[in-house]
Chain A
Amino acid sequence: MKIAVLVKQVVGSESALEISQDQKWIDNSNATFVINPPDNYAIEEAMLIKEKVGAGEVVIVSMGPQRVQKVIREGLSKGADRGIHIETESLNEIDPLYTSKVLAETLRDENFDLILSGLQSDDSGMGQTGVLLGELLNMSTATLAIETDIDQNKIRVKRELESGWFQWVELQFPASVSIQSGINQPRYPSLKGIMGAKKKEIKVIPAPQVEKRQSISEIFVPKKSKETEFIETDIDSTVERIIEILKTEVKVF
């Protein structure tokens, strides 16, 4: 079983967010970067599948400038076997079709049986790269997996639907599956894992030229759409005001 996990490096949730001078992304110079949190669940699921099958290889794939090797290394320290770094100048693109075509061209000859990806990225939040890549490589696809069940020829995926509904989908290999956050408990790297990761291979491949399909024209701070009345007073006055709102403004009674 040859498994690829798509991992993205994103700006950390506590990082400073200053809009860049050209107003097309944020200023990366003061930003701190982390592994996209949903991708941790995809790495963990890949490790669990490899352990269950008892053989195979987990390859961490990330695209971007030199700095993304840090998140690849993080995956390797959790037990993945090797990494592929697809090198681009920046990670400011918000173009999943572009990203997926670059990934498809670079990864085609690897002939992965299974590609796993996180739910969506914290920065651009498009949530489609895993499916796009699967489609471009003529794989079967499924999203929002909250459980997987694997054997030699197929993978069954329990998909989360809305409002408490679920659905099992059966896919033949090769398949690309995006993982819902919360599917498992991502492991922490062990000290041994961290030491071992330093010796593992990260293959650097320059990104092929691919035409862009969409682009950002401007990044801006959202305007607040409503006026908010703040109620910050002693408890009795607060309760009085809430009753007044319920009675005269919302007319609950």
Chain B
Amino acid sequence: MNSLVIIEHKNNKMHRMSIEAIVGAQKIGGQITALVIGKDHEEVVNKLLNYEIEKTIVVNHDLVPAYNADGYKEIIKQVFDSVDPKFIIAGHTYQSRDFMPKISAALDVPLIADLIEVENDKYVKQVMNSKLNASITSNQDKAILTFQSASFSEENIKEGSNPLEKFEVTLEPSSIKSKAEDPFQESSSEVDLESAEFIVSVGRGIEKEENKSIAFDLAQLLGAEVSASRPVVDSGWLPSARQVGSSGSTVSPKLYFSLGVSGAIQHVVGMKGSKNILAINKDRDAPIFEISDYAVVGNVLEIIPKLIEKLKKSE
């Protein structure tokens, strides 16, 4: 049942879903090896060394200083051959979507992606636009698994200690077929949704751009950040740094207060780990209510101004 967990990191910070991936691996059991690739990972490694896993492996090769799909494939293949795990595991992120299929093809091991649950060699994922679930089995001994965000909670990580190991790989420059440039943001932003304790989220249900002010007014009263669904960002009402979902941020605040968000699966994967979800929507059948603790059926544009007025009075 041994696992090799691929750690994703940026600016010396571990991706939340990599921690969740380790929690998933700990649930599966067996010896766990965490693999960190590239430069600038000191704090990532320090964090990993405090988890209850078998070991942490670092690969730092001049040809792969930052993420590159071809480089990752070559490195993970070589580590896989040495560690010989039953599972390769990662979060189902935009990065793992890019390189994991390459490893699946190279090793001829199935990639069972975007799982929400693992139970005794049965892997559960959502199908049919998340309306149904499928329990999947691998027809061979080994499998590559990626977990949907919030399928495991990072709070359940088992702590301990483990040794650090440097791992040498041999790479041919010709094996790196694609040339990746440095990542960039189109609009810089100070917003930090991932560490916000409370979030007020705006969906298409606010109807017009000027109505976003009620979200900001409410957020100010609650000490919350404002986030948005993809349609709101695509309409240009709010910048992409405020987007929650598979192409935006993944958040798990104490309160996720959503205003007119319908709850498409691409949005839900980014916020379903929130401790409390309070949603307002006109449509009683809105998918957001499926995962809400409190489902307010009504018109956001009537309820929120009244709520703001009351909160201001009681201040």
Contact = CB atoms under 8 A, between A and B. Distances in A.
Binding between chains A and B: yes
- Majority SS of interface residues in chain B? mixed
Contacts of A218: 134-135
Contact of B178 (A13, A164, A170, A214): A170
Interface in A82-137: 94-97, 100, 122-129, 131-132, 135-136
A139 to B, nearest CB: 8
Contacts of B132: 17, 19, 26, 219-222
Contact of B128 (A122, A162, A171, A182): A122
27 contacts: A17-B132, A95-B110, A96-B101, A97-B108, A123-B129, A125-B127, A126-B111, A128-B97, A140-B70, A141-B69, A141-B101, A143-B98, A144-B98, A162-B249, A163-B240, A163-B249, A164-B185, A164-B187, A166-B186, A170-B181, A213-B108, A214-B110, A214-B143, A228-B295, A239-B303, A242-B307, A250-B278
B223 A126 contact: no
Contacts of A78: none
Given A123-B129, A128-B100, 17 more contacts: A96-B110, A96-B111, A122-B129, A126-B113, A135-B106, A163-B240, A164-B186, A165-B184, A167-B184, A213-B139, A214-B139, A220-B133, A227-B293, A231-B296, A242-B303, A250-B255, A252-B254
Contacts of B127: 94, 123-125, 219
B182 interface: yes
A161 B183 contact: yes
B239 interface: yes
A185 interface: no
Nearest to A138: B177
Contacts of A212: 139
A73 interface: no
Contacts of A214: 110, 112, 136-139, 143
A94 B112 CA distance: 9
Contacts, number: 239
B248 A164 contact: yes
B297 A217 contact: no
Interface of A: 11, 13, 17, 19, 26, 94-97, 100, 122-129, 131-132, 135-136, 140-144, 159-172, 180, 182, 211-222, 224-232, 235-236, 238-239, 242-243, 245-246, 249-250, 252
A131 B102 contact: yes
A211 B106 CA distance: 16
A125 B126 contact: yes
A13 B143 CA distance: 30
Contacts of B240: 163-164
Contacts of B182: 167
Contact of B306 (A136, A169, A226, A235): A235
B56 to A, nearest CB: 24
Contacts of B297: 230-232
Nearest to B176: A140
B98 A131 contact: yes
A221 B131 CA distance: 7
